Amino acid sequence: MSDSDSTPWLRPSRSASSEPRWGHPDGLQIGIAPIPGPRGLLRVFTPYLDHPRERLVNFVAVEPIVQGGSERGFSELEASSLDPGQRGKRFWSADSSDLAEQEPDAPPARGVIDAIDGVETLTVWIGVERFDSGADVRVRVRFRADRPHEVELAGFANAASAPLSHLILTATMGNWARLRRLHLAGRVVAPAELWPGFSGTGFAEHARFPLDALTRDGDAAIVSATGDEDDPWPVEYSADTADHWRFLGRRAVQSWRVDDPHPALEALVNARWSYWASASPIPGGPAYENVEVVEPFRQGAALRFSVEPVD
């Protein structure tokens, strides 16, 4: 925690071995490797959902597209050039935007405490190893003291980057919570409606929803997803389902909010029938896996990810 701040924050100590994890001590938290899990992903922790400390609710991947291209870079899947033999781009932390552009040789950053509009904030920058496409980016992570279940994320292109058409930040693990209700303006959409009869071990094709299909709060656009089970705990899993896929804790709604959406913004979702890297079926059928908002790249455009208990 901070040493003399008016609001306590979870953040690394100044030790090189300190855990790279930031946020609200009893609220939403973000971490990066070497916290266990795949490289190239932000870890999202929600201890207020009655989770043990190591349980995460979701990951956020960084997926840029360069101008003139159509393929995404995948921070989780691309091979690292900084760490040969490793899959997933290296992430590191910094206390300033400039330092995030440099390859790391320092302990985890503590983050910077400041006030914005009279509210205390904690900001840390995440550097991202250069992508094979030439995309070279960093991500600003910001917490507000008055929003304990939310984090703001903003993507930036570094000076050395190839020009970008998009910089997608995607929540990638909706299957763990078995998210099957996508909340849009005036309606709720289920995977069974979008991909009837879908099965197998791959991903369903993305379904896309334009800005006018999304819930609005003033100018802001919101897309949310929840589970469809009132009692998700006692379900029957296949015998080969790994323990880390088994649901625990409280139910929640996971949401992306964009306060200043581009007119071309879309919400995209896909689904899986089986849990990632396995043939173990998801109890109850296909569930949303990736939930994201996609808009043309704007330097520093921010979006907010929240996880709120529903019971």
Residues 47 and 190 in one domain: no
Angle at 31 between CA 99 and CA 248, to 5 degrees: 170
Query: Residue 5: pLDDT above 70?
Result: no
The pLDDT of residue 6: 52
Residues 5 and 150 in one domain: yes
**What is the pLDDT averaged over residues 16-32?**
97
Query: Residue 103: pLDDT above 90?
Result: no
Q: Please check whether residue 301 is in contact with residue 169, taking contact to mean a CB–CB distance below 8 angstroms.
A: no
**H runs (alpha helix) in 150-224:** 191-194
Q: Please check whether residue 171 is in contact with residue 225, taking contact to mean a CB–CB distance below 8 angstroms.
A: no
Residues 148 and 98 in one domain: yes
Q: Does this model's pTM top 0.75?
A: yes
Domain that holds residue 302: 175-311
The pLDDT of residue 216: 98
Residues 163 and 300 in one domain: no
Residues 33 and 132 in one domain: yes
d(CA 31, CA 288) in angstroms, rounded, equals 23
Which domain-ending residue is among 172, 197, 231? 172
Q: How many domains does the chain have?
A: 2
DSSP designation for 48: G
User: pLDDT band for position 4 (50/70/90)?
Assistant: very low
What are 268-277's pLDDT values in tens digits? Answer: 999 999 999 9
- Measure Cα distances from 57 to 32, 172, 188, 246, 308 in Å: 14, 10, 22, 12, 11
Which residues, listed in sequence order, are joined to residue 92 by a DSSP beta bridge? Answer: 127
Residues 163 and 184 in one domain: no
Residues 167 and 183 in one domain: no
d(CA 191, CA 142) in angstroms, rounded, equals 32
Helix (H) or strand (E) holding 276: none
Residues 151 and 192 in one domain: no
**What is the pLDDT averaged over residues 53-80?**
97
Query: Residue 283: pLDDT above 90?
Result: yes
Residues 143 and 247 in one domain: no
Residues 134 and 2 in one domain: yes
Number of H helices, E strands in the chain: 2, 19
From 287, 29, 5, select the one nearest 148 (Cα to Cα).
29
Which domain-ending residue is among 172, 187, 221? 172
CA terminus-to-terminus distance, the chain: 29
Which domain-ending residue is among 148, 172, 196? 172
d(CA 92, CA 294) in angstroms, rounded, equals 24
Residues 100 and 210 in one domain: no
Q: Per mean pLDDT, which range of 94-108, 188-202, 228-242 is the poorest?
A: 94-108
From 246, 233, 223, select the one nearest 311 (Cα to Cα).
233
d(CA 53, CA 33) in angstroms, rounded, equals 15
The pLDDT of residue 199: 98
Determine phi and psi for 193, rounding to 5 degrees. Answer: -75, -35
**What is the pLDDT averaged over residues 59-68?**
98
Q: Which residues lie closer than 8 Å to 265 by C-beta, 6 or more apart?
A: 210, 211, 214, 221, 258, 293, 294, 295
DSSP designation for 131: P
What are 111-167's pLDDT values in tens digits? Answer: 999 999 999 999 999 999 999 999 999 999 999 999 999 999 999 999 999 999 999
Q: Which residues lie closer than 8 Å to 280 by C-beta, 6 or more apart?
A: 237, 238, 240, 241, 242, 245, 274
pLDDT, averaged across the chain:
96
Query: Residue 3: pLDDT above 50?
Result: no
Q: Which residues lie closer than 8 Å to 173 by C-beta, 6 or more apart?
A: 56, 57, 58, 59, 276, 289
The pLDDT of residue 280: 98
User: pLDDT band for position 1 (50/70/90)?
Assistant: very low
What are 204-219's pLDDT values in tens digits? Answer: 999 999 999 999 999 9
Residues 77 and 166 in one domain: yes
